[in-house]
Amino acid sequence: MIYLGLAAIALVTAVLVLSDGSDSIGGVIEPDHLAALASTGGILALVVAGYWRQFRSALGPNLRALFAWALIGLALVIGYSYGDRFQGVGARVLGDLRPGSAVSGPGGSVTITRRADGDFRVEAEVNGRVQPFLFDTGASSVVLTAENAAALGITPAPADFTARVSTANGIAYAAPIQLDSLRVGTISERRVNAMVARPGSLAGNLLGQTFLTRLSAYEVRGDRLILSPP
């Protein structure tokens, strides 16, 4: 290795001496650049030669270490190249393990997996706090139970329960309100009109049309509910 480096330096020196003083050698490279390249190559050859002696003194362990580092480098390259695919697979597995959790997908879409009871239960953030919802296209509005609304600090007066709300289970009376924010996965909407159901009239929160109509689309594919952002 050392001899190769010295030979390369000698060859470049000879080329420089025999050059005619023109601005470039062979019309390809300038003499200054060639000299810098030769000196750098010589230093690199000396460094590599020194490491090669140490490497050869314990060839077996060093080869194993080199192979291990090569595998690590290959894994990093593959992980970087296919990171989006791995993330998608991981998110899908998470959705299967935790039905109701919002899993982000291509284009900002959100996917929710159907629960064992056949319903789509959606974990959403209302005014920054997580609340469970039942996906209900038959509900004309987002509806909170009186108990869940109270947990958010929303307590309508008894006289406010005057609005008729259509749900999949029929008609219920509720108090109109406006939510500061409603977020499902990466989809977030501000100032969402909603209702608070009369105490004891509703078993759970409903994710209804005042949120769903803001989406560009929503559809059910098998056991997946897919929400597309506005």
DSSP string, 34-64: HHHHHHHHHHHHHHHHHHHHHHHHTHHHHHH
Q: Which residue has the higher pLDDT, 27 or 65?
A: 65
Residue carrying structure tokens 């307590």: 155
Please choose, from the candidates 221, 103, 129, 220, the residue with its C-alpha nearest in 3D space to the C-alpha of residue 182.
129
pLDDT tens, residue by residue, 150-191: 999 999 999 999 888 776 667 778 999 999 999 999 999 999
pLDDT tens, residue by residue, 81-121: 655 554 444 445 554 555 567 788 888 899 998 888 888 99
Question: In degrees rounded to 5, what are phi and psi of residue 5?
Answer: -60, -45
> 197-229 b/e with 16+ CB inside 10 Å = b?
bbeebbebbbbbbbbbeebeebeeeeebbbbeb
- 3-state SS assignment for residue 110: strand
Least confident of 35-39, 57-61, 91-95, 132-136: 91-95
| Segments in the chain forming alpha helices (H) | 2-18, 31-57, 59-81, 83-97, 146-151, 209-212
The pTM for the full model equals 0.58
Highest mean pLDDT: which range of 23-27, 52-56, 178-182: 178-182
